[in-house]
Structure formats: C-alpha cells, structure tokens
C-alpha cells in the first residue's frame, strides 16, 4: 500500500512539473505535441466526468475565472440545457490545437447517435495550470462511419 501511495504521489508531482514546463511560454501558432497531449487530457477528464454526471469533478476542470462567475448549480444547468451531447456522448476526437494571445483553442468532435457535434474549447493557463474557459458548439454533422 505504501508503495502504491508513493507511486501515485510521484506521478502527480511529475505531471505537474511537465505541465508547468509545457505552458511556461505560450507562443502563437500550433500547440506542441506535449501541449496538445496535456490539453486533450484535461478536456477528456472533464468530458468523462460530465458523462458520469460527476459534477464537482467536471466543474473543477474549469478555469478560476469561470468558476468565479458561474456557480456549480449554474454549471450543471448550462451543461444539461446546452451541452447534452457531452452527457450522452459515444466518444470524442480531437483535431486542431492552437494558441493565440495566450489562450489555447482545441477543436473537439463529440460523437452522438449518427451525428458529430463540433465544439471549440478555449482554455487559459493560470500559474501553469490549465482551465476551461468556454466550449462553443458548432454544427452537428451526419456521421456516416461511426
């Protein structure tokens, strides 16, 4: 048990250091492979928490500025009324990750029943920690090969 706790603690410390180094300098353009991997992991964790209706966990992936203006109950309401595809998703995939003006933009396709809904996530970095600022819904497209 002691070994397991030590291993988990070490992994958390190392991932925190990796994230800090990856986001120390945000240059406009495409995300580096390391940045894209961390961004996608952050968004995946939030989407998975939403799908499992683990609201406090999902809310924790939002940025501090988002959480300061939107309470947990408001977050749950917004997800339920505008982002139902995240609750009922049948998978998701990532495409373009870019940085502009110190904000990260990640394109995500959320699979549903015969449809793919496009979202554009915007993330900020606060003290080298990622936080979701927003997710804009694009159009739903018919997906022939799901």
Structure tokens that stand for 96 in this block:
């373009």
Q: What is the pLDDT of residues 76-110, one digit of tens each?
A: 999 999 999 999 999 999 999 999 999 999 999 99
Instruction: Look up the CATH number of domain 28-142.
Output: 3.10.450.630
Interhelix angle 33-51/2-22, rounded to 10 degrees, is: 120
Collapsing DSSP to helix, strand or coil, 86 comes out as helix
Structure tokens that stand for 60 in this block:
């924790």
Percent of the chain residues past pLDDT 90, beyond the cut: 72
Stronger pLDDT, 22 or 65, i.e. the higher one: 65
Comparing CA positions, the residue from 120, 112, 69 lying closest to residue 89 is: 112
CB-CB contact of 88 with 65 (8 Å): no
How far apart CA 47 and CA 86 sit, in angstroms, is 6
Q: What is the pLDDT of residues 17-33, one digit of tens each?
A: 556 677 888 889 999 99
pLDDT band of 143, cuts 50, 70, 90: very low
Residue-range domain boundaries for the chain? 28-142
Collapsing DSSP to helix, strand or coil, 15 comes out as helix
pLDDT at 140: 60
pLDDT at 113 over 90: no
Mean pLDDT of the 100-125 span: 95
How far apart CA 22 and CA 35 sit, in angstroms, is 6
DSSP track, 42-66:
HHHHHHHHHHTT-HHHHHHTB-HHH
How far apart CA 87 and CA 84 sit, in angstroms, is 5
Q: What is the pLDDT of residues 3-17, one digit of tens each?
A: 444 333 434 444 445
Global pTM value: 0.81
């Amino acid at each position: 048990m002691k070994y397991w706790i030590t291993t988990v603690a070490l992994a958390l410390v190392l991932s925190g250091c990796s994230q800090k180094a990856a986001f120390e300098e945000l240059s406009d353009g495409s995300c580096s492979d390391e940045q894209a991997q961390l961004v996608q992991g952050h968004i995946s964790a939030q989407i998975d928490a939403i799908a499992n209706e683990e609201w406090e966990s999902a809310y924790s992936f939002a940025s501090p500025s988002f959480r300061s203006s939107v309470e947990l109950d408001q977050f749950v309401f917004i997800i339920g009324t505008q982002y139902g595809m995240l609750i009922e998703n049948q998978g998701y995939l990532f495409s373009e990750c870019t940085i502009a003006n110190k904000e990260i933009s990640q394109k995500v396709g959320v699979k549903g029943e015969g449809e793919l809904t496009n979202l554009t996530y915007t993330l900020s970095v606060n003290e080298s920690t990622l936080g979701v600022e927003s997710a804009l819904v694009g159009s739903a497209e018919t997906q022939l090969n799901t």
